């Protein structure tokens, strides 16, 4: 693929969602969401992503996400409502190989991650966003499968890969947490 053609688009649209790469200007809206959702998100996603922070710190974090996006190390998308562009959560793509997360050129699979604010769970937003990114990942060169990893205690999160046709292939222990590994063969 030529260097001037991005591997993934900056934005996707579904019936109810705008799925677009995070921008520094999203920091204030994200600050408000994280401030009231840490207890909901903290047990399931990395602390550095879930932890509330000042607008300035979040702007810095979002700049780091943008740098990683451009370098094809990870692609993090904010989830926004179509009608009022309200922040709902995130869906992310992480290139992987058997050793873990890697730069895209070394990957043979893509891990999908997601989170949704507590007051918007149960409406299918994470499933809708995951469907959208499955469509783009299936077009990526040298990627043979998709993976979703979730804490086995998080039944709501595990319902998503099941709904999307992923198959539970194993449970692994990482940092004292039992993670289900769900796979989808392309």
Report the run of H or E that residue 87 belongs to, with start and end.
Answer: strand 87-97
Q: Based on the number of CB atoms within 10 Å of its own CB, is 29 exposed (0-12), middle (13-18) or buried (19 or more)?
A: middle
Domain membership flag for residue 33: yes
| E-strand stretches of 51-86 | 75-81
More confident residue, 62 or 48: 62
Domain membership flag for residue 164: no
| Residue-wise burial string across 132-151, b where 16 or more C-beta atoms lie within 10 A, e elsewhere | bbbebbeebeebebbbbbbb
And the tokens for 29?
Answer: 């809206």
3-state SS assignment for residue 4: coil
Domain membership flag for residue 18: yes
Domain membership flag for residue 36: yes
- DSSP symbols for 142-186: T--EEEEEEETT-HHHHHHHHHTT-EEEEEEEETTEEEEEEEEE-
Q: How many helices (H) and strands (E) does the chain have?
A: 5, 9
Host domain of residue 137 = 11-142
Domain membership flag for residue 61: yes
Domain membership flag for residue 158: no
| Number of domain units in the chain | 1
30: how many CB neighbours lie within 10 A of its CB?
20
Domain membership flag for residue 6: no
Would you state the pLDDT for residue 33?
98
pLDDT tens profile 49-102: 999 999 999 999 999 999 999 999 999 999 999 999 999 999 999 999 999 999
Tell which residue, 148, 123, 126, 118, has the closest CA to residue 77. 126
Say if CB 47 and CB 109 are below 8 A apart. no
Say if CB 113 and CB 77 are below 8 A apart. no
Would you state the pLDDT for residue 175?
87
pLDDT tens profile 107-132: 999 999 999 999 999 999 999 999 99
Domain membership flag for residue 129: yes
> Which CATH number fits the domain that encloses residue 42?
3.40.630.30
């Amino acid at each position: 693929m030529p260097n001037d053609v991005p591997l993934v688009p900056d934005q996707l649209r579904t019936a109810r969602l705008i799925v677009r790469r995070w921008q520094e200007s999203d920091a204030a809206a994200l600050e408000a969401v994280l401030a009231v959702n840490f207890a909901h998100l903290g047990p399931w996603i990395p602390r550095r992503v879930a932890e509330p922070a000042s607008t300035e710190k979040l702007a810095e974090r979002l700049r780091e996400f943008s740098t990683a996006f451009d370098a094809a190390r990870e692609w993090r998308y904010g989830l926004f409502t179509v009608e009022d562009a309200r922040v709902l959560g995130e869906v992310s793509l992480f290139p992987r190989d058997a050793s873990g997360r890697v730069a895209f050129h070394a990957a043979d699979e893509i891990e999908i991650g997601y989170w949704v604010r507590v007051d918007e769970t149960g409406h299918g937003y994470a499933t809708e966003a995951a469907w959208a990114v499955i469509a783009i990942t299936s077009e990526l060169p040298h990627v043979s499968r998709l993976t979703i990893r979730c804490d086995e205690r998080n039944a709501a999160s595990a319902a998503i890969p099941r709904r999307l046709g992923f198959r539970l292939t194993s449970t692994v222990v990482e940092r004292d947490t039992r993670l289900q590994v769900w796979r989808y063969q392309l």
